[in-house]
A and B are shown apart, each in its own frame.
Chain A
Amino acid sequence: MSQPVVHISNLNLRYRQKPVLQGLNWVIKRAENCLLCGKSGSGKTSLAKAIASQVHYSGTIKINFDASSALPPVAHYVANWYQFKDLEGQSNFYYQQRYNKQATETTATVKAELESYGRKHQLDFSHAEPILDALNYTALLFATLIQLSSGEHKKLQLIKALWLKPQLLVLDQPYNGLDKLSRKNLNQLLENITDAGTQLILISNEQELPSCINHYAEIKTGELHEITAEDRRGHFEEIVIKAVPEFLSKAPEVLSDSVINMIDVNINYGDKQVLRNINWEVKAGDKWVLQGHNGSGKSTLLSLITGDHPQAYANEFYLFGSKRGSGESIWEIKERIGLISPELHWYFDPSATVWQSIASGFYDSSGLFCDPGYTKRAHTDELLSYFGLDEYKNILMNELPLGKQRLALLARTIIKNPELLILDEPCQGLDQQQTLHFNRLVDELCKNGTTLIYVGHFESQLPECIEKRILLENGAVKSVENILACVYCDEEEHIVQKTYTN
């Protein structure tokens, strides 16, 4: 029992010639479940991948599996990124693809994917069923991989890991995109498998952790430090927001008083109704939060607004005062919207540099395909600095940690100073400090009359300017509320200390 489970000594790891981990030592004993902390880019993911032998490193990492355990003697890593392939082995997808229908399926169903995973690891499908139930996934078994939202892909990764029950489980940002109930259920499942003998290393910025977490460590300047739970909560530095660049502090041009007006909007996939009788009007200057569980229809609703859903043409709704499908092009719509979503990030051109990604916001393209010219170049440079990304200017997106990629895409979202901002979980992958900072920036931008639709599962992480809330449930509008006073938001399903009127 005295033998450590994970014994890391003098670990050195470089990324693109830059040292990330330097002489790192770490000992994890049996029954210790660790939370691994550190700022974005500090090397958390690199360390996790090294433990799972997925990257090259120097030094030693020794994992002593328990020979007497019935659990598979493996260190299983669940990445903060998901990937999947179509039936032909390609993964050249685009984020709008799940809304287009094609008679011949190009990707496997969830069930086929799980069955093939089960065969590979010799797992019994009946053992997966309670996990599927707990994460509310049974209804998705016959969905195809391309149809899943980012939260649903995240759950699929977790289901596989929990089903495998490895001796050592390393989870990198597992809560991204999960709604409150799913986060709670995930924590319960993690309690269960650690009780049954799995040891856990968790990377997360989340406040609500499973109670099995009993050790805390932080990576700082390439080394690992044991910390306490209190250290981790830490104290926040006062957030000082830099003056917003001048080109973003002008009021965007507003051409219509009504930004969105949906009249009895319905979306069906075969027999399945995804949106039902949606009536929703957004006026210029409104600040909305859009909420609902995973699968409640939020992404589909937003895809109608951003010109990404073909069924928009079969519904009655108005965007910027014009009826959708009356001869406008989607590029004319996108020109007026700044959009970020988990899916946009996931399918973004990985071979674009940070600078190109930011500049592509002027054209609403995934990657940059033309020379933006002097003014737009200058604006891109300014925003690059504003987001503290100068040193990453010419680095490719897929060579950066998720948090940095996300910052670049947030800069891309606002660079046009659009009249409508659609921020679908904009702060996924950011730490608390960065999240607060970005939300402050959103508050600043919105002072100029920008219309805002904000999606966030974490209620403590909303901008202050939010004044209206629409809640979806099973594809229908459950409630629409005005938020009169904003005092403080907590983590509960309702923003209890805010006051609502119907």
Chain B
Amino acid sequence: MSNYFNTLPLREKLNQLGVCDFMDSAEFLDGVNALKGKKLVIVGCGAQGLNQGLNLRDSGLNVAYTLRREAIEGKRDSWKNATDNNFTVGTYEELIPSADVVINLTPDKQHTAVVNAIMPLMKQDATLLYSHGFNIVEEGMQIRKDITVIMVAPKCPGSEVRAEYVRGFGVPTLIAVHPENDPEGKGLAQAKAYCVGTGGHRAGVLRSSFVAEVKSDLMGEQTILCGLLQTGSILSFDKMVEKGIDAGYASKLVQYGVEVITEALKQGGITAMMDRLSNVAKIKAFEVSEELKDIMRPLFQKHQDDIMSGEFSRIMMEDWANGDKNLLAWRAETGETAFEKTPAGDVKIGEQEYFDNYTLMVAFVRAGVELAFETMVQAGIKPESAYYESLHETPLIANTIARKKLFEMNRVISDTAEYGCYLFDQACKPLLANFMTTVETDLVGKNFNAGKDGAVDNRALIEVNDAIRSHQVEQIGAELRKAMTAMKAIKTA
């Protein structure tokens, strides 16, 4: 198997990277009809598998689960998840041959083995559904030509996919059809119907391609989403302890701060996040983030280049073959950091205090989101896709840090994201060493405004506000947040 993207001529590379269409709700008026009466078989029953299946069944579709024989015989968690909720469960041999749609919701690393096992069992003209394109794009998996290959990727953890559905809503979702495997031209209709079945059509659907999804997803998770949040958290904690701030306070500020700060990002983009700061602090955070962007730009570009060339997946797959040597070493190293080992102190930190005392993180988030977005767009990824994989997902990852720090973040994300996160973190920390020597406790640990005269120069403030607001990620973000159904519009009305 060879990297699919690298087999394409430049014209076709650009063509597929450029698939990006925010779909109108009128496109979903046909509901689940394209899948009605069809037999849907889900491979794997973890959080995504179970919750998507519950939604699909409640939408009137016929759903069953197939698991490896050992999982069934050992009555593992995946078997319990499926049987306790009254789903039919069977082996590949029992269920795949009659399936109209096979849904592969196993971890990336198992895809090649799983697909090789199920493909020979799949009936003529069936459909294979992925929720991530790594196997097709980076590993170059070749699927039998009669089989339709589609992707439906809810952009939220499995538990949210269920929670939002039963509330009568859904989570933002990305769909795609693999151009090499759409022999009957039915792929898009089926992907849309699946999306309705999980409730995604109510929350905003982005039509993408396997290529655009993989190249943007990898870039986002390695840089801003996981990599930079990890680096920024560890450096901030170490700096505070070095400067004599109470370790319990520092631990709590870092653990919960990123969630509070990015909540503003979720609701109103970089602008809203920066507006939570006083005018003096905002100007400072702007200057610091500009400096951070200059320092980190080459690293962001290297990550994007390695993702585009396939170099990243090559070295990661090398590590897979090597028994995850690097992944496990880096995971252990993260578990040993002082931040991870210091429990959050029993101190109350007010909502505004997280902004005032953690201005450095605001600067990190602005720098990271803008850099990731800019680098993706320069590499040929459309702004809408770049927005989803940078700004949109940052608060979701931040939530995981608030729950149980970096350990939790790295547990929840895929192994692929975790590997890329460590790769970035390893390179980014030394890169920021000089910068960090200039950081004082007014940027992290203490209130930036304390002891400062709040006066600012009008023109300086106007310039800073203008630079923040006119960035492309803000303009596309405002449009997409509005379009993610009328929900936001109505809720804030």
The residues of A with any CB-CB pair to B shorter than 8 Å are 88-90, 92-94, 96-97, 100-104, 106, 307-308, 310-311, 313-314, 327-332, 349, 351-352, 356, 360, 363-371
Q: Which of B86, B202, B403 makes the CB contact (< 8 A) with A89?
A: B403
Contacts of B58 in A (CB 8 A): 307, 329-330
B77 close to chain A: CB less than 8 A: yes
Q: Which of B32, B77, B490 makes the CB contact (< 8 A) with A329?
A: B32
Minimum CB–CB distance for A415 against chain B, Å: 14
Known: A89-B403, A103-B80, A104-B77. A367 touches B167 (CB 8 A): yes
Contacts of A330 in B (CB 8 A): 58-59
A104 and B77 CA atoms in complex are apart in Å by 7
- For the complex of A and B, the 9 pairs showing the least CB-CB separation, nearest first, are A365-B168, A101-B84, A103-B77, A314-B86, A329-B60, A103-B80, A366-B167, A310-B85, A330-B58
B467 close to chain A: CB less than 8 A: no
Known: A101-B81, A101-B85, A349-B167. A370 touches B490 (CB 8 A): yes
B467-493 vs A, Cβ < 8 Å mask (1 yes, 0 no): 000000000000000000111001100
A367 and B406 CA atoms in complex are apart in Å by 33
Contacts of A89 in B (CB 8 A): 403
Contacts of B486 in A (CB 8 A): 369-371
Contact yes or no, A364 B77, CB < 8 A? no
Contacts of B59 in A (CB 8 A): 329-331
Minimum CB–CB distance for B202 against chain A, Å: 6
Minimum CB–CB distance for A97 against chain B, Å: 8
Known: A313-B57, A327-B36, A371-B486. A94 touches B85 (CB 8 A): no
Name which residue of chain B comes closest to A325, CB basis: B57
Contacts of B163 in A (CB 8 A): 92-94, 97
A–B Cβ pairs within 8 angstroms, 11 of them: A90-B403, A103-B77, A104-B77, A310-B57, A313-B57, A329-B58, A329-B59, A330-B59, A331-B168, A368-B491, A369-B485
Contacts of B167 in A (CB 8 A): 94, 349, 365-367
Minimum CB–CB distance for B444 against chain A, Å: 24
Q: Which of A97, A332, A363 makes the CB contact (< 8 A) with B60?
A: A332
Contact yes or no, A327 B50, CB < 8 A? no
Minimum CB–CB distance for B416 against chain A, Å: 23
B183 close to chain A: CB less than 8 A: no
A104 and B59 CA atoms in complex are apart in Å by 25
Contacts of B84 in A (CB 8 A): 101, 103
A479 and B57 CA atoms in complex are apart in Å by 34
Contacts of A97 in B (CB 8 A): 163
Minimum CB–CB distance for B298 against chain A, Å: 37
A9 and B77 CA atoms in complex are apart in Å by 59
Contact yes or no, B490 A368, CB < 8 A? yes
Contacts of B36 in A (CB 8 A): 327
Name which residue of chain A comes closest to B168, CB basis: A365
B31-70 vs A, Cβ < 8 Å mask (1 yes, 0 no): 0100011000000000000100010011110100000000
The residues of B with any CB-CB pair to A shorter than 8 Å are 32, 36-37, 50, 54, 57-60, 62, 77-78, 80-81, 84-86, 159, 162-163, 166-169, 202, 403-404, 408, 485-487, 490-491
A27 and B37 CA atoms in complex are apart in Å by 70
Contact yes or no, A369 B86, CB < 8 A? no
Minimum CB–CB distance for B434 against chain A, Å: 37
Minimum CB–CB distance for A260 against chain B, Å: 18
Known: A103-B77, A332-B60, A369-B168. A327 touches B37 (CB 8 A): yes
Minimum CB–CB distance for A332 against chain B, Å: 7
Contact yes or no, B403 A88, CB < 8 A? yes
Q: A100-B162, A103-B80 are in contact. List 9 more A-B contacts (CB 8 A).
A: A94-B163, A310-B54, A331-B59, A356-B490, A367-B167, A369-B169, A369-B486, A370-B202, A370-B490
Contacts of A308 in B (CB 8 A): 166
Contacts of A356 in B (CB 8 A): 490-491
Name which residue of chain A comes closest to B163, CB basis: A94
Name which residue of chain B comes closest to A93, CB basis: B163
Q: Which of A101, A365, A371 makes the CB contact (< 8 A) with B169?
A: A365
Q: Which of B37, B85, B86, B168 makes the CB contact (< 8 A) with A363?
A: B168
Contact yes or no, A327 B403, CB < 8 A? no
Name which residue of chain A comes closest to B77, CB basis: A103
Contact yes or no, B32 A100, CB < 8 A? no
A356 and B59 CA atoms in complex are apart in Å by 25
Contacts of A104 in B (CB 8 A): 77
Q: Which of A103, A311, A365, A371 makes the CB contact (< 8 A) with B81?
A: A103
Name which residue of chain A comes closest to B402, CB basis: A89
Name which residue of chain B comes closest to A351, CB basis: B491
Q: Which of B77, B85, B490 makes the CB contact (< 8 A) with A369?
A: B490
A109 and B487 CA atoms in complex are apart in Å by 35
Name which residue of chain A comes closest to B403, CB basis: A88
A327 and B63 CA atoms in complex are apart in Å by 11
Minimum CB–CB distance for B30 against chain A, Å: 14
Contacts of A100 in B (CB 8 A): 54, 85, 162
Contacts of B62 in A (CB 8 A): 327
Contacts of A93 in B (CB 8 A): 163
Contacts of B50 in A (CB 8 A): 102
Name which residue of chain B comes closest to A356, CB basis: B490
Known: A330-B58, A349-B167, A360-B168. A371 touches B404 (CB 8 A): no
A173 and B60 CA atoms in complex are apart in Å by 41
Contacts of B202 in A (CB 8 A): 369-370
A96 and B36 CA atoms in complex are apart in Å by 25
